[in-house]
């Protein structure tokens, strides 16, 4: 994983006066599995379509291996795309679908036949050459779409929510297949999804986007453990996000209670967002916590119980393996290390972090 491969430089794009991307700058390295993650309308698909050549940015440039490809049509770009709804050619057999790109680039028949065999083996669908598109299940169609893209030996594979239409079990299987494929092919993947779990499972690097702005770029661990703002924290997994005031270094006030934390460097009495993951909230004896409350609801989730505790006017979300019946009076405790303090959005850019549900 090394050198800079793709550079999206200061890209802006709007549709009908609706600003979708605002001065987006993104570098993708060679052989990276990069995921663009965000809610619908955050600009992730538009970013992918600009990479694919289906949209032209209003401002900015796209560099591919150092060359400016901003104005290059899709058919002249050395990359391939896997579409959300497969987009197979229904009037062709599976073999003809896979051969489409190779025939256009005028490869020999022997080469094409070899490639079809190889690609079908790679996606575990040997012997499907003469089947029709209609006779395949959704998961099989998506694998053919992937095969059709990779036979052209692209240096970059774009995937636009390719697993969105599949059911949960199939989606998980396909996630492992994609990781395996990426390792076997050794090419760069850019993957678009709104599913945080998918992003965390597969990516080398995640780009969290909202309303046309990049919120955070980092490894899955970074993004989950050290979210940079309340939006990222909320989007990647569940969180308790509470308004707080920084009393001094390593002391923050939330819901009328002063609690110790590990963050320093904020102004005195600065308003902040306090983010606490539900699995980090401990339910203890009422006297042992920094706050007291009552269990409002409890749902069994398999691995853990999801409990809601009403305390000091806030409904805390708690994940715990212990059972607390509704109505139990409990204390809430969080160790200082698990309390994340974040700046409130101030600048124009950061406005996009506000969470719109």
Partner 1 sequence: MNRFKREFLTGPYIVWIIGFIVLPILMIVYYGVTDSSNSFTLANIIAIAEPIHMKALLLSLKLALVCTVICLLLSYPLAMILNSMKFKHQNFIVFIFVLPMWMNFMLRILAWQLLLSNNGILNTVLETLHLPQFQFLNTPSAVVFGMVYDFLPFMILPLYNSMSKISADVIDAARDLGANQLQVFIKIIMPLTISGVLSGIIMVFVPALTSFVISNLLGGGKVLLIGNVIEQEFMQNMDWHMGSGLSIVLMIFVIASMAFMNSHNKDGEGTAVW
Residues that bind partner 1 (CB under 8 A): 52-54, 73-75, 79-81, 83-85, 87-91, 100-101, 104-105, 145, 148-149, 152
For the record, the structure tokens of 153 come out as: 């030996």
Q: How far is the CB of 149 from partner 1 (least distance, A)?
A: 8
Q: How far is the CB of 27 from partner 1 (least distance, A)?
A: 23
- Considering the complex, state which of residue 62 and residue 88 has its C-beta at the smaller distance from partner 1: 88
Query: Measured between alpha carbons, how far is 283 from 279 in angstroms, rounded to an integer?
Result: 10
- Considering the complex, state which of residue 26 and residue 99 has its C-beta at the smaller distance from partner 1: 99
Residues 6+ apart with CB under 8 A from 138: 86, 165, 166, 170
The phi-psi region of residue 313 (left if phi > 0; otherwise alpha if psi is between -120 and 50; otherwise beta) is: left
Q: How far is the CB of 107 from partner 1 (least distance, A)?
A: 11
Q: How far is the CB of 56 from partner 1 (least distance, A)?
A: 14
In 53-167, which ranges are continuous DSSP H helix?
A: 94-104, 109-122, 138-150
Is the Cβ–Cβ distance between 93 and 116 less than 8 Å? no
* Residue for token pair 């896997």: 82
Q: How far is the CB of 182 from partner 1 (least distance, A)?
A: 19
Neighbour count for residue 90 (Cβ, 10 Å): 9
- Considering the complex, state which of residue 59 and residue 85 has its C-beta at the smaller distance from partner 1: 85
- Considering the complex, state which of residue 63 and residue 83 has its C-beta at the smaller distance from partner 1: 83
Q: How far is the CB of 145 from partner 1 (least distance, A)?
A: 8
Residues 6+ apart with CB under 8 A from 130: 93, 94, 95
Determine the angle formed by the axes of helices 138-150 and 168-185, rounding to 10 degrees. 20
- Considering the complex, state which of residue 89 and residue 176 has its C-beta at the smaller distance from partner 1: 89
- Considering the complex, state which of residue 55 and residue 280 has its C-beta at the smaller distance from partner 1: 55
Q: How far is the CB of 301 from partner 1 (least distance, A)?
A: 36
* Residue for token pair 């995640």: 206
Neighbour count for residue 356 (Cβ, 10 Å): 9
Q: How far is the CB of 133 from partner 1 (least distance, A)?
A: 11
| C-alpha 192, offset from chain centre | 7
Task: Give ∠ CA 352-239-260 in degrees, rounded to 5.
Answer: 105
- Considering the complex, state which of residue 97 and residue 229 has its C-beta at the smaller distance from partner 1: 97
- Considering the complex, state which of residue 102 and residue 281 has its C-beta at the smaller distance from partner 1: 102
């Amino acid at each position: 994983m090394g050198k800079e491969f793709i550079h999206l430089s200061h890209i802006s794009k709007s549709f009908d006066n609706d600003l979708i991307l605002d001065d987006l700058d993104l570098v993708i390295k060679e052989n990276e599995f990069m995921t663009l993650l965000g809610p619908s309308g955050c600009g992730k698909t538009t970013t992918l379509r600009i990479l694919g050549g289906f949209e032209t940015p209003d401002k900015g440039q796209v560099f591919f291996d150092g060359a400016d490809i901003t104005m290059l049509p899709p058919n002249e770009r050395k990359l391939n795309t896997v579409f959300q709804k497969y987009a197979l050619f229904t009037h062709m057999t599976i073999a003809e679908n896979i051969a489409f790109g190779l025939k256009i680039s005028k490869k020999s028949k022997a080469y094409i036949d070899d490639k079809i065999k190889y690609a079908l083996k790679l996606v575990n669908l040997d012997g499907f050459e003469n089947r029709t598109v209609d006779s395949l299940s959704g998961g099989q169609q998506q694998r053919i779409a992937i095969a059709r893209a990779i036979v052209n030996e692209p240096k970059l594979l774009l995937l636009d929510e390719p697993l969105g239409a599949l059911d949960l079990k199939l989606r998980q299987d396909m996630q492992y297949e994609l990781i395996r494929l990426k390792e076997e092919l050794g090419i760069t993947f850019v993957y678009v999804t709104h599913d945080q779990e998918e992003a965390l499972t597969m990516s080398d690097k995640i780009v969290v986007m909202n309303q046309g702005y990049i919120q955070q770029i980092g490894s899955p661990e970074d993004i989950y453990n050290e979210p940079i703002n309340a939006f990222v924290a909320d989007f990647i997994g569940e969180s308790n996000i509470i308004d707080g005031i920084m009393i001094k270094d390593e002391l923050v006030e939330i819901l009328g209670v002063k609690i110790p934390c590990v963050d320093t460097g904020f102004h005195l009495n600065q308003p902040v967002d306090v983010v606490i993951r539900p699995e980090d909230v401990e339910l203890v004896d009422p006297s042992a916590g920094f706050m007291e409350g009552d269990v409002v609801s409890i749902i069994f989730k398999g691995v853990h119980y999801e409990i809601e505790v009403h305390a000091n006017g806030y409904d805390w979300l708690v994940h715990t393996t212990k059972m607390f019946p509704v109505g139990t009076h409990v204390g809430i405790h969080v160790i200082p290390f698990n309390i994340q303090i974040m700046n409130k959005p101030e600048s124009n850019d950061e406005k996009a972090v506000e969470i719109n549900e």
